[in-house]
Amino acid sequence: MIAHGIGWITFAILYGSLAAAVIVVFLLRLTRRGRAVSSTLIWQKVMGTTRSFWQELASLLVQLLLFLLICLALVDPRPPAAEINRRWIALVFDTSESMAAVDGDASRLRQAGRHAWQTIETLAPVDRVMIVAAGSTVEALTPFTSDREEIKKALGALSAGGGAPRMDDALAYVAAAFSYAGVGEKDIKQLIVITDRPDRVTPPQWPDTATTVVGAGSPAPNVAITSFAVRQTANLSDSYDALVEVMNYADAPAKTELAVYTPTQTLGVQTLQLAPGGRYSQVVGLPVGAAGKLTALLRKTEFADGGKDALPSDDAAFAFLPATPKARVLLVGGQNLFLRNALGLDQTIDLTTIPNGDYHPGLTARFDVVVFDKFAPAQPPAGSAIYFAPPPGGPFVVKANKKNPATTGWADGNPLLQHVTMSELHIEEARVLQPQDKDIVLMGHYDGALMLLRENGGRYLLGVAFDLVKSDFPIQPAFPIFLHNAVQLFSRKPEGEIRTGNRLGEKVELAVTPGRQQVIVQDPLDQKISVPVRSGRALFRPTVPGFYTYADADALRVLAVSLTDPEESDLHPTPGAALPTFPRSLEGETREIFWPWLVLAALVLIVLDLVLFYHGRLA
């Protein structure tokens, strides 16, 4: 027998001490001398005759046995696992977002918990059950236990959310739990996985383990936002578009309203009519310079068969567009008011103006774009530059001076000429430029180019062959647009695609300044979450869709999280097995817990000792 309470050595010391004390008292009672006092006769009449030696000896033995039983109850002896034929059942629940779908009067997960409890109630007292939740994270809600109250509490604590389930990690955890649980040779191991997508679970082939993948839920109607992404517009400027995709997963036609908005502005509202399995995509143009929180929301959803949308969490999607830093522009030679005003009035440009004489190459390191007006330094800047009427000796070869030059066309589709019309442009005089290999002619001439773009390793040079004062270009609406396009293209950093949103349940690395030990993140439910920083990295896994915020370097950072998972939004479960049933007892089952019976036996002995004491004494 194995001690689950006090140890056997402690038991021997405790029982030995109690037994010795009882025996000493017994011997003292045998050797004491009787002495008559004034009240002796009265008590003899009340209590009757004294007990015989054999009665005293029987009482001693009863008392020794009583203390033995009490001490054994404190030891809580139990047979080794090899001597008990029990079941070890691991219940793995899929807690992904689709299990939150309302199915009747409760969610799929809640109903699965109810059915599992009904099965657990049929188990024998010695059987062990472990509850594991498999969502975007894996959590063991209980170890292997026979405590029904602990199991029932764990089933009540199950909650769905957090994206697709990490089922492989959950099964690996269960395999390790089986190996460390002390399973006996005669015991039965059983793995039960409860999910609404049994087709996504590969049953493990573990020795001596029965595996059952149980299906949960029934088909439910759902209209979902399956994609919400923000991307730069085709002109590569600071303008952005939002792409929204909506899908009807119901078996009946659906009508819904799609709204896209910022905290201060509604960008669009549209009523959608979707056939069963129908899909709708829309591109919403964002205002120039737009930044901050962006939300897409489905509302007023109705189904032709009267059903209700079963999964609200995919009716909204979120994005956050960080503010684009202003382009730092240096204008060398600011006498041209048209040029200076066009650059200075652009809200996306931080303009600095210096005369030609103050220019030196060391200045350009602090600027994204340098603009030269009728000036070309001997040493060109290290970054991108725009030259208006470049003189000979600069980066562009001047082929000839032309009066009233005629154009031969424009490079339609080039980002610099996006939304720019030059069909009515008049030029009084120009220095025709000689194109080189790989140069892009933006505005052509019979002898060369009137606008020339040269690109080399992310560095751009733009040559405009004419003096702005000797043309009507500055007074045309296309002029500020052309400058804006050029500055935005030349100052754009090669950072790749901007990440404006994250998928629910996926791990996200938070941007933090060096030296921080933890980050406090506030989730959409206003709950604060402490995220440790290890090796300079703060990894966080969001479980609720919406906007998360955290402070870093005196700035408030925002993280947008959405479900946007077609597999989770499709509420058509695949078939699986039914929950297995268990007979009430197993062959060879023995009761494992003995201490209640030991206490009961001690109470019986106390009654027996009282009977022996009072036998023959009561009047």
Q: Where are the domains of the chain?
A: 2-79+595-614, 82-215, 223-324, 327-491, 502-558
Residue 36 is predicted with a pLDDT of: 60
Taking residues 18-26, report their average pLDDT: 83
Give the pLDDT of residue 423.
77
Q: State the pLDDT at residue 41.
A: 57
Q: Is the pLDDT of residue 130 over 70?
A: yes
Report which of residues 402 and 43 the model is more confident about.
402
What share of residues in the chain are helix, strand, coil (percent, to 5)? 25, 30, 40
- What is the distance of C-alpha 165 from the center of its chain? 11
CATH fold match for the domains 82-215 and 223-324: no
The reported pLDDT for the residue numbered 574 is: 92
Nearest to 198 by CA among 587, 557, 611, 577: 577
| Number of other CB atoms surrounding residue 522 within 10 Å | 15
What gap in Å lies between CA 471 and CA 442, rounded to an integer?
17
Task: Over range 474-478, report the average pLDDT.
Answer: 89
Decide if pLDDT at 44 tops 70: no
pLDDT over 50 (residue 618): no
- The reported pLDDT for the residue numbered 494 is 46
Given pLDDT bands bounded at 50, 70 and 90, which one contains residue 495?
very low
Structure confidence by residue, pLDDT tens digits, 245-281: 999 999 999 999 999 998 888 888 999 999 999 999 9
What average pLDDT does this structure show over 16-36?
76
Task: Select the more confidently predicted residue: 499 or 442.
Answer: 442
Token pair 């000493």: residue: 24
Instruction: Quote the pLDDT of residue 145.
Output: 92
| Least confident residue range of 41-45, 211-215, 440-444, 602-606 | 41-45
User: Minimum mean pLDDT among 282-291, 464-473, 475-484, 586-595: which range?
Assistant: 586-595
Taking only the tens place, the pLDDT of each residue in 170-194 is 999 999 999 988 887 788 899 999 9
592 vs 75, more confident: 75
Looking at residue 279, its pLDDT comes to 94
Q: Which residue has the higher pLDDT, 70 or 142?
A: 142
User: Which of 38-54 are b and which e, b meaning 16 or more Cβ less than 10 Å from the residue's Cβ?
Assistant: eeeeeeeeeeeeebeee
**What percent of the chain shows pLDDT beyond 70?**
87
Minimum mean pLDDT among 44-58, 413-427, 508-522: which range?
A: 44-58
Question: Model confidence at 201, in pLDDT bands (50, 70, 90)?
Answer: very high
**pLDDT confidence tier of residue 619, bands split at 50, 70 and 90:** very low
In a 10 Å sphere around its CB, with 0-12 CB exposed, 13-18 middle and 19+ buried, how is residue 619 labelled?
exposed
- Nearest alpha carbon to residue 588 among 126, 17, 270: 126
Which two three-digit tokens encode residue 614?
């009072």
Q: What are the pLDDT digits (tens) for 550-605?
A: 988 778 888 899 998 999 999 999 999 998 887 654 444 445 566 677 777 778 87
Six-digit token string for 128: 């062990």
Identify the CATH homologous superfamily for domain 327-491.
Class I glutamine amidotransferase (GATase) domain (3.40.50.880)
CB–CB of 242/283 below 8 Å? Answer: yes
pLDDT of residue 586: 47
Please report the pLDDT score of residue 268 as a whole number.
87
Distance in angstroms (rounded) separating the CA atoms of residues 214 and 199: 11
- Options 2.60.40.10, 1.10.10.10, 2.60.40.720, 3.90.190.20; CATH for 223-324 is 2.60.40.10
pLDDT at 220: 93
Structure tokens at 290: 């737009």
Whether the pLDDT of residue 385 is over 90: the answer is yes
Q: Which phi and psi angles does 484 have, rounded to 5°? A: -60, -45
| Long-range pairs of 446-450 with CB within 8 A, sequence gap ≥ 24 | 446/406, 446/408, 447/399, 447/400, 447/402, 448/399, 448/400, 450/405, 450/407
Q: Is 573 helix (H, G, I), strand (E, B) or coil?
A: coil
- pLDDT one-digit tens code per residue, 512-537: 888 888 999 999 999 999 999 988 88
Average pLDDT for residues 312-337, to the nearest whole number? 87
In the chain, the percentage of residues whose pLDDT exceeds 90 is 40
pLDDT of res. 597: 72
CA distance 614 to 117: 51
Asked if residues 140 and 173 have their Cβ atoms less than 8 Å apart, the reply is: yes
Q: What pLDDT score was predicted for residue 599? A: 75
What is the Cα 485 distance to its own chain's centre?
A: 38
- Per-residue pLDDT band at 234 (split at 50, 70, 90): low
CATH homologous superfamily of 82-215 = von Willebrand factor, type A domain (3.40.50.410)
Prediction pTM value? 0.65
When pLDDT is cut at 50, 70 and 90, the band that residue 14 belongs to is confident
Lowest pLDDT segment from 30-34, 45-49, 205-209, 565-569: 45-49
Q: Which of 553, 525, 580 is nearest to 194 (CA)?
A: 580
pLDDT surpassing 80 at residue 617:
no
CA atoms within 13 A on the CB side of 271: 3
**The pLDDT value given to residue 37:** 60
